[in-house]
Structures are given as C-alpha cells and as structure tokens.
Amino acid sequence: MKKIIGSIAVMAAAFSGSVAAQSAAHEVKAREIYARIISFRTAAGHQQTPAMVDYLVDVLKAGGVSETDIATLEVKGERAFIVRLPGQRSGRPILLSAHMDVVDARPEEWARDPFKLIEEKGDFYGRGTSDNKAGVTALISTILRFKAANMKPSRELVFAFVGDEETDMTTTRRIAAHPWVKDAEFAINTDAGGGILDDTTGKPLIYLVQGAEKTYATFDLIVTNPGGHSSRPRQDNAIYQLAHALERVETYRFPVMATDLTRAYLGAVGKAQSGPVGEALRKFSADPTDASAADELAKSSEFVGTTRTTCVATMLEAGHAENALPQTAKAAINCRIFPGGAIASVRDALAAAIADPGVKIEVRGNPEASPISEMRPDVMSAITRAVHAHYPDVMVVPYLESGGTDGKVYRIAGIPTFASSGLFTKPSEMFAHGLNERLPVIAFYQGLDHIYSLAVDLGGVRTKR
C-alpha cells in the first residue's frame, strides 16, 4: 500500500480496504499471542517476564518491525521493552502503554489452570486475561497491523511494555525517562478505564477514561509502653491508647475537594442515577460547596473517594502474651489522597485528629503524589469515536482512580496520561488480582479495535472527521 497522504477519499478507500481484507487474520493472530502470553507466569519471583519479552520481540520482528525500533530495558533483573513506529513528520511522540506482569495465582486454588488460556461460555479465563495481557495483546496487534498494511503514522507512536507494574514500577520509571518516551505529548494506558455494562441487562451504561489517580499511602500508628505483668495493670495501656486514637481516625473527615475532572464524572454518573445519591451527585457536581450533598456522598463507599481524601484502619497488631501488658500496639491506616494533597499534610491532619503525642505516626515506604491529567479534546474525541464504533451513544466521561496503576509514574514524569482499555465489563465480573480472572471474549476483540483505532486516529493516519 502506498503512503497514506493525499485526499481523504483515497485514504479512506485504502484504509477500509486493507482493514476489511485482514480483519479475520489479525484476530486469529491476536488470539494466538494472547494464549501464548497467558502461559508465562509473569508474577514477581517467577522470572518469566524475560521469556515473554523474547517471544513478543520475535513476533514483532517476524511482523516486520526493525531491530532498531525495539529497545529492551533491564532494571534490577526486571525486563521491559519499547517499540516505536516512526512518524512521517516531526513532533512529539504519543505513548501507548501496557504491563506484562501479573499478580501471582496459585493453580491449586483456581478452578482452571490460571496459566492456560481457556475459552468457556463466552469468557476467556486465565491470570492476566483482563489485567493487563489483553492490553499487551492489543498493543502488539496494533503494531502488527500497521506493519502488515505498511501504514505510517504522521506522529511517532511509541509502545511501552512494562515489566513490574504490580510491584515496584521501576521499569515504568525507566521507560518514562527513555529518549524515545520522555518528550511524549501524552500517553494512553491500556491498564484502566473502560465501559461498564449493567449487571443484569448487559446494557452499556457509561465509558470511563482515567485521568488521575489518588495517592496511595499507608501510615502506621505506633504506641509503646513499658508493659509489665498483667496481674498488676498500669494506668496507661498501649492497646487502649491506640484504640482511642483509632476512634478519632474513624470519625475524622478530610475536607471536600473537587476538580473539573471529578465534577464532570460525578455529574455524568448522577444523570444516570435516581434517588438521594443521584440527586447528591448532581448537586455536588454543580456546586462542590453544597455540604448536604457532600454529606450524602460521604455515606457512599462508591463515591466518597471521588470527593475527598479517605483514610481507614486496615491492620492491627498488639501485645506479645495474654498475661503480659502490651509493650507495643500498632495499626495500619491506609489513605487514598486526593490529587494535589501532600503526603505530609495528610500525616499532619491525622496527628491533629488523634491529638495524642504518645501515638507515633510513620509513613510506610516512599509514596508519590501524582498530578491530574486534565482531559484533552483530541484524546476525548478519539476515545469517543472508538467507543461509539461498538456502543453508539454511550457517555464517555473522565474519572479519578481510587486504585492505582503506573499511569501515575508517567504523570509524575510530566506526561499527561489517559487510561482507556476499550474493555466493557459488568462490575460483578471484576476478577483482576482475584481468583478465576476472566474477560468476555467479545470485550477482548473490541479491545483490539479500540487500541488500533486510537493509534490510527491519534497517530494521524486518518484525518479527523
């Protein structure tokens, strides 16, 4: 096929012709790749990611990708790689990212072998089927389709395959600093974002694009005491002291926060909801200072996280013998910090709420706060076009992630990142990280189209309608 420049008519004809001719072939190939990569146990400690990288690099080379457009990165025994499709014009590249590693799965606990792709009654079963090997497959499939049709993007496209998203994200950091990636104008992450289907009817409800993540931070509350024999109780006791501190954490509420992104999300969800929660969503979206709306949303485990920082007790540890006074009592408080909030200020707020200098507060590890990626019209319209190809009229809305992905690493590195997997699933079918992970077969194939369509559209292969 000749280079895709020229009139829209010529381009459209060439484009649709090439796609129609190979549609079956690329789906067969993608399924083969998907099955193969599910079979690698790419969980921490199993060292199978390098073998998966070798396999994928071979697939890409066989598909026509030149060795000079593949860079393999090795960080502390973890392996990752990036692939570029050079642009016909200069300009900042666009990054597309997926992660190859998985949370481990114990075969003895699963109903089926987690490291074998099994298709059963409309679902693909296997560890990584949804998180995130469908995304890996969609990126590889997109590159292969570009090569097979000899299509060249006008903007350079860089595809990243992360090796340790589920653990340290050190390969993501290395990728973000790589010369092919560091100047990227924005990134599309396949590891989050997607459509929600009604649990009973299967009707598409909404499509969510992740534009920000809350910061994950865990604080330990620690009380120490000289202890002693339990037959001679002291006035002060580490367990009681910690219990009082926990009661204050329980009742403390962080102040309400809102951004354009969270207001757009809550307003859109509110339109589709009835009852007091729906009304509170609409009111809060219109006016985040509406205290009664914020109070109503604070009662909802689904929405409270989009309106403020939350901290909650998750673990307890105290004492060393049933007949001894406790010498230490410790509780873990897990916080999801609203973007823009500093870790130190959350610590200070907890200390003020607890109001007991005898309770030490220590942060675990080195949590990092990431900025919001405000929505770009070009990205939102490309995602909307891709979504509407399968689900016309469904609302496409940005959201704030309360969980976590390596999108935050790109955002911290200055690359605005939008997560859009293209996968439509029912909330009751969310099995990522859990037992018997699965993905509807139809979602897998639609996900391939979604990522391909974004690469074509954002890469400037097709002019905008």
- In 8-47, where does DSSP find H-type helix? 8-38
Q: How far is the CB of 52 from Zn ion (least distance, A)?
A: 15
Q: How far is the CB of 165 from Zn ion (least distance, A)?
A: 6
Q: Which residues of 100-124 are buried (b: 16+ CB within 10 A; e: fewer)?
A: bbbeebeeeebeeebbebbeeeebb
Q: How far is the CB of 169 from Zn ion (least distance, A)?
A: 11
- Tell me if 453 sits within 8 A of 386, measured CB to CB: yes
Stretch that binds Zn ion, among 125-133, 150-158, 197-205, 326-334 (CB under 5 A): 125-133
Q: How far is the CB of 210 from Zn ion (least distance, A)?
A: 11
167 versus 334: smaller Cβ distance to Zn ion: 167
132 versus 453: smaller Cβ distance to Zn ion: 132
156 versus 406: smaller Cβ distance to Zn ion: 406
123 versus 131: smaller Cβ distance to Zn ion: 131
Q: How far is the CB of 201 from Zn ion (least distance, A)?
A: 28
Cα distance between residue 215 and residue 55, in whole Å? 35
463: left (phi over 0), alpha (psi -120 to 50) or beta: beta
Length of the chain (residues) = 465
Cα distance between residue 51 and residue 71, in whole Å? 15
156 versus 191: smaller Cβ distance to Zn ion: 191
Q: Which residues of 381-417 are buried (b: 16+ CB within 10 A; e: fewer)?
A: ebbebbbeebbeebbbbbbbbeebbbbbbbbebebbb
The 153-192 contact track toward Zn ion, x by CB under 5 A, reads --------------------------------------x-
Cα distance between residue 354 and residue 364, in whole Å? 19
Query: 3-state DSSP call for residue 212?
Result: strand
Stretch that binds Zn ion, among 17-25, 131-139, 219-227, 413-421 (CB under 5 A): 131-139
Q: How far is the CB of 133 from Zn ion (least distance, A)?
A: 10
Characterize the bridge pairing of strands 228-229 and 204-213. Answer: unpaired
Both tokens assigned to 208: 């969510």
Q: How far is the CB of 54 from Zn ion (least distance, A)?
A: 22
132 versus 310: smaller Cβ distance to Zn ion: 132
Cα distance between residue 132 and residue 407, in whole Å? 13
Q: How far is the CB of 191 from Zn ion (least distance, A)?
A: 4
155 versus 450: smaller Cβ distance to Zn ion: 450
Q: If binding means CB under 5 A, how many residues of this protein chain bind Zn ion?
A: 3
Among 42, 132, 285, 417, binds Zn ion (CB under 5 A): 132
194 versus 341: smaller Cβ distance to Zn ion: 194
351 versus 430: smaller Cβ distance to Zn ion: 430
Question: Residue 185 burial (CB < 10 Å; 0-12/13-18/19+)?
Answer: middle
Taking the alpha carbons at both ends of the chain, their separation in whole angstroms is: 22
Stretch that binds Zn ion, among 109-117, 127-135, 213-221, 355-363 (CB under 5 A): 127-135
Q: How far is the CB of 103 from Zn ion (least distance, A)?
A: 8
Q: Does 131 bind Zn ion (CB under 5 A)?
A: yes
Stretch that binds Zn ion, among 23-31, 130-138, 222-230, 374-382 (CB under 5 A): 130-138
Q: How far is the CB of 101 from Zn ion (least distance, A)?
A: 9
Cα distance between residue 130 and residue 245, in whole Å? 40
40 versus 254: smaller Cβ distance to Zn ion: 40
Query: Which positions from 182 through 241 interact with Zn ion, judged by CB under 5 A?
Result: 191
- In 69-193, where does DSSP find H-type helix? 133-148, 170-177
Query: 3-state DSSP call for residue 278?
Result: helix
Stretch that binds Zn ion, among 41-49, 124-132, 233-241, 371-379 (CB under 5 A): 124-132
The conformation of residue 69, written as its DSSP 8-state character, comes to G
Residues at the contact surface with Zn ion, assessed by CB under 5 A:
131-132, 191
